[in-house]
Structure 1
Amino acid sequence: MASVLVLTGSPSAASRTAALAHHIGGELSLAGHDVSTLAIRTLPPQALLAADTGAPEIAAAVRAVIGVDALVVATPIYKAAYSGLLKAFLDLLPQAALAGKIVLPIATGGTIAHLLAIDYSLRPVLASLGARHVTAGRFVLDVHIDHTSGGPVLVDDAARECVTRTAAAFREAIELAADEDRRLVAAP
């Protein structure tokens, strides 16, 4: 199975975005993938903002991104764009950091007006970093996420079904890429 990094770009420790990302990571783990998580907010802020790729924690985070097969990129949407925290981290990555990777963008926000932020602000950045395939992303309204009770994360049935389908399509894209890679290796 594939190695998957769940990258969370929320500045908040108790975040709906992180809860949604962990929910998707759990589905991927249940499917047999090796899932790890990187909360960007835990990186040293001075090194992150100074783009100090030599700082040990920053260098380890960059290596973690480069070393996986697939990536879930989760962000809250603020003012129709992904978080500045995520932007600061993505700016540190080498130009081809996502080469060969399958990427799933997910976002949360307070209004449906932010629905297109994935396609208009995040997807182009992920593609510019060389992603092999950026799968269809998923935007989930904050009111559909319970990040505090310890119960089900997605409290809206329609949102839960949409997220499940999105995670399934991501898993399928990972499997298709692995099959394609095996065929290329086996070809004379």
Structure 2
Amino acid sequence: MKVTVVAGNPKPHSRTLAAGTLLAEKLANRPVGAGVDHTIDVIDLGPGLLGWGDEAVNNAVRQVQGSDLVVFASPTFKATYSGLLKLFLDQFEGGTGLQNVVSVPLMLGAGPAHALAPDLTLKPVLAELGGTCALPGLYLRDKTFAEDEALDMYVHRWTPTVNALIDIRITSG
């Protein structure tokens, strides 16, 4: 299983990236700290996100498209995902850009007020791009995500679904 984390936080090496990596490792049944196959800290792509044809951005898009499981992680800004993540997602072809990619929306925030944001804002754009969005989004508090029992409950509930979806992708693909 090829696993990627995309973190759309304007701060490099953020808690958002750490939370996305932790969730991806657990969903892929990897030991915590083992890492994932690809990590895209979108802020590192810089001004190449503002146009089309940037080599680093195109490589990041291809890494995502070649993955079985991608956790798309964002901090919550104004009740939605970051503009930085939006710039990256705009690089994908509508309807097919995430075809056959199990896409998991993850958002972090300061409190519970925006707990529905992953499902109401991020998941629809992932689906619009053709991602397989069978899992609900996950919202975690940014300062306590690693200890949040909601993370482990989510992983326990949804890992079998991730495995089944990836098995279907591999056998049909």
Give the TM-score taking structure 1 as reference length: 0.80
Residue 23 of structure 1 corresponds to 22
Alignment deviations for residues 25-63 of structure 1 (CA, whole Å, 9 cap, x no partner)? 333333999632111010032x201x32x2110110111
Q: Output the CA distance in 1 between the equivalents of 2:35 and 2:143.
A: 29
Alignment deviations for residues 85-109 of structure 1 (CA, whole Å, 9 cap, x no partner)? 0000001111211111211111101
Mean Cα displacement is larger for which, 67-76 or 7-16? Answer: 7-16
Q: Does the aligned pair in 1 maintain the 2:65–2:97 contact within 8 Å?
A: yes
Alignment of 1:30-69 (within 5 A): 30=31, 35-45=37-47, 47-49=48-50, 51-52=51-52, 54-69=53-68
Residue 175 of structure 1 corresponds to 163
- Give the aligned length: 169
* 1:182–1:58 distance in 2 versus 1, CA, 3 Å: closer
- Structure number with greater Rg is 1
Overall identity of the aligned pairs, in %: 31
Q: Output the CA distance in 2 between the equivalents of 1:18 and 1:182.
A: 27
Alignment deviations for residues 145-170 of structure 1 (CA, whole Å, 9 cap, x no partner)? 4xxxxxxxx24xxx1x2112323444
**Residue ranges of structure 2 left out of the alignment (5+ in a row):** none
Cα shift at 1:14: 4.4
Q: Does the aligned pair in 2 maintain the 1:104–1:170 contact within 8 Å?
A: no
Alignment of 1:39-118 (within 5 A): 39-45=41-47, 47-49=48-50, 51-52=51-52, 54-95=53-94, 96-118=96-118
List structure 1 segments (4+ residues) > 4 angstroms apart after TM superposition.
31-34, 181-185
Q: Does the aligned pair in 1 maintain the 2:7–2:42 contact within 8 Å?
A: yes
* 1:173–1:58 distance in 2 versus 1, CA, 3 Å: same
**Residue ranges of structure 1 left out of the alignment (5+ in a row):** 146-153
Residue 153 of structure 2 corresponds to 165
Secondary structure of the 2:99 match is coil
Cα shift at 1:171: 3.0
Give the TM-score taking structure 2 as reference length: 0.86
Give 2:7's aligned amino acid. T
Alignment deviations for residues 90-132 of structure 1 (CA, whole Å, 9 cap, x no partner)? 0111121111121111110112111111111111101101112
Q: Output the aligned Cα RMSD.
A: 2.3
Cα shift at 1:24: 2.0
